[in-house]
Amino acid sequence: MKRNIVIAALTATALIGGGTATALAVSSDDDGSTRADVRVAADRAADDDDRDDRDDRDETAVAAKGDVTAADAIAAALRHTPGTAASVDLEDDGAGTWDVDVLKSDGTEYTVTVSPDTGKVVGAHKDNDDDGDAEDRAEVAALKGAKTDAREAALAAAAKGTVTEVSLDDDDDSRAVVWNVDTAKGDWKVDLATGNVTADRDED
């Protein structure tokens, strides 16, 4: 009759710039054969972080090459589709276009695509996802009294680095809604009421 022994070991290895934790499960049978199942969740997380970092670098490179800033893209989108800009994002899908989400007063949302080279609108479509209506209406309500819009947030954070994304989010510290701005030199929060720019500590 075979007897299985399972040993779980957690090994932390210090590397330059951080450590990697590996969980190792080993089973041994009476006949002396040994089988090891290695799960490297920490390594997978590190790989995900590396991919995110590469995506950020790709977006920054595209933004640096193009003549059109995030603020320019928002202005162009609103000229084409009047409303309130809820976000702008530089896509890293090869085309490197700006996607601007524009909200109407009734909560309907449009995505307007802007060329990073010419600043011209190259596409626009309505978001037909009904599941997002409640969230869209909440964003409209949050922006209704805002003194700092998405374009102004992009301009305010541009002093911190090339802006690649602006979006609305809850501030975990106060539960207030703020602009989250991603730049080449870090992530920032811009207050909707004051326009003040502070470092996003949640991303540290």
Domain containing residue 111: CATH number: 3.10.450.40
Whether the predicted pLDDT of 43 surpasses 80: no
> Structurally, how many domains does the chain consist of?
1
Q: What's the farthest any 2 CA atoms get from each other in the chain? A: 77
Whether the predicted pLDDT of 168 surpasses 70: yes
Q: Is 59 inside a domain boundary?
A: no
C-alpha distances in Å from residue 64, one per residue of 69, 89, 162, 185: 9, 14, 7, 13
pLDDT confidence tier of residue 171, bands split at 50, 70 and 90? low
Residue range of the domain that includes 152: 64-203
Q: Is 154 inside a domain boundary?
A: yes
Q: Is 102 inside a domain boundary?
A: yes
Closest CA to 111 of 89, 96, 131, 144: 89
Q: Is 114 inside a domain boundary?
A: yes
Mean pLDDT of the chain: 74
